[in-house]
């Protein structure tokens, strides 16, 4: 399956999840009613005048309504708490954000691997959290979209693993980000919370009734009040039923996705030893992969390896057995978990000659690479990171330097416009940032075109640490610098689009876009805007613009699409933003058609510049379709 089919598959899994959830709720309602009715029936036998029946419609409606309300409210509450993004999960698990500017060697190792993977896969660099209290070996990815994703690793993971093993684990987690598993997993957390609340409520009732019973006489306890602790006890028992269904649902949703993520990690790194040895190291470790945090149970399906105790039945486990996973990667595995030889570093090899490296731009090949980057992209990312000047790499890892580098990238070559831009910063930016901008401007001028957008991607984790006020000032300055010359270039819009997508206000809820458009005909107008921006942005002559637009339009197979001529410059920030916002609600298969049309438009003359391709990548990234870098 390609990237878009994987997204559809994740959506279908969500539907399956809802079906399981409804079934579990129905059975829990029946269980609660049966328990309450049985208790009342038992107590009613002591009263010869009472009419006793196991079926009571009024009682059933009361029990069903109360249970359903409790489950729904619990689910909605949990979903609301998770809406701020993946960092909520990381913090609940005791995760501590690794400072992008850290000097700790183990932390730098994991950050470097994550940066490499992000650039290679075309996603923004996610923040990384370490769980310092966890000595076991494990990791996870959490979030609704690549824009709010975080990577979490245990202390044992970063201290006990070699770089190649760590690369295999991180590649596995990036697969979950790219394949849509991450969103499915975090939704699963919210939905299952409502089911598990029944047991929690039973525990509260039982504890409260037992405490209250000490304050009443024996005669009072023998009356109707005796039903309360029995109901609490029954709800606790039913809570175990909810726990059973929770594990069953998690197993049904996640087990096969783990096999897929392992296979994707091998494809990504072309180094099966990396992830195989990581799994063996878990099997050989005394701590294994078990997480001690009390939230491990509800987040067990997020982890790289089983984060809780062994399941009562293997079919209910959230992860396949270690030996089975290793055997699929290494058919020669003999059951011995000891890591015998240190894997060789694949990144030291030369990238294989691929079609993507030819001078001819192939839109079909680029389309097939979405969500499935290869080792050539990792090698490309590693070489690019190595080529960046050290002061730039250091600067983008802290909030002051990151802002300065971004501002410096937008300073105009024209002396007059540049002075106006610096005056704007002097009036509205932090004094230290302005000084750093002037220093950074000399270094960013030496960057190759292909390195500029990756530098922006590297700065994103540091920029996510800005306060509300700093964020607003930064985004306002960003727009002012871009519009200083009344002209929006390809790179300027790509930078603006990427930062706007990945830098919501601190604490802002993640916009979970629902699929609203399942037919291309429903989004013709925003498609016209997008193709027009790409055609005008990549060409100067009207004939070339028309030809590029027509190439994209023809691939959509509709005559309704018409080219839109820009009023000023060649990119209308507001109009393109509105188009992208609408296209976010398209189904994966409609997005595939749109991305394919954009590629045909960009490659119409087979002469694709770095700026053209980076603009396309920024637009695709905003549609949550990360594009690996184009290797020439």
**pLDDT bracket for residue 348 (50, 70, 90):** very low
The vertex-186 CA angle with 202 and 622, nearest 5°, equals: 155
More confident residue, 157 or 83: 157
Which of the 8 DSSP states describes residue 298? T
Q: Which residues of 539-577 are buried (b: 16+ CB within 10 A; e: fewer)?
A: beeeeebeebbbbbbebbeeeebebbebeebbbbbebbb
- Is 173 marked active-site? yes
More confident residue, 292 or 569: 292
Closest listed residue to residue 405, CA positions, set 467, 462, 470: 462
Three-state secondary structure of 299-352: CHHHECCCCCCCCCCHHHCCCCCHHHHHHHHCCCCCCCCCCCCCCCCHHHCCCC
CA distance 459 to 191: 34
Q: Which two tokens stand for residue 597?
A: 């049309």
pLDDT by residue (tens digit) across 202-222? 777 777 766 565 555 444 444
CA distance 471 to 453: 20
**pLDDT bracket for residue 358 (50, 70, 90):** very low
pLDDT by residue (tens digit) across 168-207? 999 999 999 988 888 888 888 887 888 777 777 777 777 7
User: Looking at residue 117, what is its pLDDT?
Assistant: 95
Q: Please report, for residues 64, 217, 228, 233, the alpha-carbon distance to residue 225 in angstroms, rounded to integers and kept in the order given.
A: 22, 11, 6, 14
pLDDT by residue (tens digit) across 60-108? 999 899 888 888 888 888 888 888 889 999 999 999 999 998 999 999 9
First to last CA, the chain: 26
CA distance 616 to 596: 11
CA distance 235 to 201: 7
- Asked if pLDDT for residue 1 goes beyond 50, the answer is yes
pLDDT by residue (tens digit) across 598-612? 999 999 888 888 888
- Asked if pLDDT for residue 357 goes beyond 50, the answer is no
CA distance 73 to 194: 7
Counts of helices then strands in the chain (DSSP H, E): 25, 4
User: Looking at residue 341, what is its pLDDT?
Assistant: 53
Q: Position of tokens 């002396």? A: 415
pLDDT by residue (tens digit) across 312-342? 555 567 888 999 999 999 999 988 998 765 5
User: Looking at residue 281, what is its pLDDT?
Assistant: 94
Catalytic hit among 173, 258, 298, 457: 173
pTM of the model: 0.85
pLDDT by residue (tens digit) across 257-310? 888 899 989 988 989 999 999 999 999 998 899 999 988 888 888 999 998 876
Residue range 523-535: mean pLDDT, rounded: 91
User: Looking at residue 210, what is its pLDDT?
Assistant: 65
pLDDT by residue (tens digit) across 31-41? 888 877 887 77
Q: Which two tokens stand for residue 482?
A: 């871009």
What residues form DSSP beta bridges with 96?
130
User: Looking at residue 47, what is its pLDDT?
Assistant: 62
Residue range 498-523: mean pLDDT, rounded: 83
CA distance 415 to 611: 23
User: Looking at residue 32, what is its pLDDT?
Assistant: 81
Which of the 8 DSSP states describes residue 631? P
User: Looking at residue 356, what is its pLDDT?
Assistant: 38
User: Is the separation of the CB atoms in 233 and 206 below 8 Å?
Assistant: yes
- Asked if pLDDT for residue 344 goes beyond 70, the answer is no
Q: How many CB atoms lie within 10 A of CB 416?
A: 10
Q: Position of tokens 């030809």? A: 547
More confident residue, 486 or 425: 425
């Amino acid at each position: 399956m390609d990237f878009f089919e994987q997204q559809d598959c994740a959506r279908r899994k969500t539907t399956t999840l809802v079906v399981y959830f409804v079934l579990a709720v129905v059975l829990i309602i029946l269980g609660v009613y049966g328990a309450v009715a049985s208790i009342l029936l038992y107590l009613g036998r002591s009263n010869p005048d009472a009419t006793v029946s196991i079926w009571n419609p009024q009682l059933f409606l009361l029990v069903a309504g109360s249970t359903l309300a409790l489950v729904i409210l619990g689910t909605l509450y949990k979903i609301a708490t998770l809406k701020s993004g993946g960092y909520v999960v990381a913090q609940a698990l005791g995760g501590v954000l690794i400072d992008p500017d850290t000097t700790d060697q183990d932390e730098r190792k994991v950050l470097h691997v994550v940066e490499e993977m992000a650039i290679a896969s075309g996603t923004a660099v996610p923040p990384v959290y370490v769980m310092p209290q966890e000595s076991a070996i494990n990791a996870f990815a959490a979030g609704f979209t690549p824009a709010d994703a975080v990577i979490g690793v245990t202390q044992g993971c970063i201290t006990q693993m070699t770089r190649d093993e760590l690369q295999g684990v991180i590649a596995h987690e990036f697969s979950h980000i790219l394949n849509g598993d991450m969103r499915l997993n975090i939704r699963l957390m919210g939905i299952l919370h409502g089911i598990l609340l029944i047991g929690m409520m039973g525990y509260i009732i039982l504890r409260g009734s037992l405490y209250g019973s000490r304050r009443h006489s024996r005669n009072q306890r023998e009356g109707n009040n005796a039903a309360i602790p029995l109901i609490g006890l029954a709800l606790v028992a039913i809570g175990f039923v909810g726990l059973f269904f929770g594990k069953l649902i998690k197993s049904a949703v996640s087990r096969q996705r783990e096999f897929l993520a392992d296979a994707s990690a091998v494809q990504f790194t072309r180094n099966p030893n990396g992830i195989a040895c990581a799994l063996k190291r878990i099997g050989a470790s005394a701590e294994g992969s078990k997480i001690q945090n009390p939230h491990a149970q509800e987040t067990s399906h997020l982890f790289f390896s089983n984060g809780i105790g062994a399941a009562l039945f293997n079919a209910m486990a959230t992860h396949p057995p270690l030996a089975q996973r290793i055997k699929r990667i290494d058919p020669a595995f003999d059951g011995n978990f000891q890591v015998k030889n240190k894997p060789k570093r694949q990144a030291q090899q030369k990238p294989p000659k691929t079609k993507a490296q030819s001078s001819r731009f192939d839109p079909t090949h680029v389309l097939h690479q979405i969500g499935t980057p290869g080792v050539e992209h990792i090698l490309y990312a590693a070489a690019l990171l190595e080529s960046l000047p050290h002061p730039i790499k250091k600067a983008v890892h802290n909030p002051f330097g990151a802002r300065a580098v971004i501002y410096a990238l937008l300073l105009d070559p024209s002396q007059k416009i540049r002075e106006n831009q610096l005056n704007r910063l002097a009036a509205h930016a932090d004094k230290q940032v302005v000084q750093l901008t002037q220093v950074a401007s000399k270094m960013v001028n030496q960057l190759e075109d292909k390195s500029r957008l990756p530098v922006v991607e590297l700065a994103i984790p540091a920029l996510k640490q800005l306060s509300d006020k700093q964020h607003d000032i930064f985004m306002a300055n960003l727009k002012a610098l871009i519009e200083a010359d009344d002209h929006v270039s390809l790179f300027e819009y790509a930078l603006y689009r990427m930062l706007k997508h990945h830098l919501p206000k601190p604490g802002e809820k993640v916009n979970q876009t629902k699929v609203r458009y399942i037919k291309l005909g429903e989004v013709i107008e925003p498609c016209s805007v997008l193709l027009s921006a790409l055609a005008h942005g990549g060409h100067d002559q009207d004939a070339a613009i028309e030809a590029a637009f027509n190439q994209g339009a023809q691939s959509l197979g509709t005559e309704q699409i018409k080219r839109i001529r820009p009023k000023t410059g060649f990119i209308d920030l507001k109009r393109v933003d509105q188009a992208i916002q609408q296209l976010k609600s398209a189904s994966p298969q409609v997005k595939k058609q749109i991305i394919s049309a954009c590629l045909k438009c960009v490659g119409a003359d087979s002469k694709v510049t770095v700026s053209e391709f980076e603009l396309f990548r920024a637009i695709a990234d905003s549609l949550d379709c990360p594009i690996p870098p184009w290797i020439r």
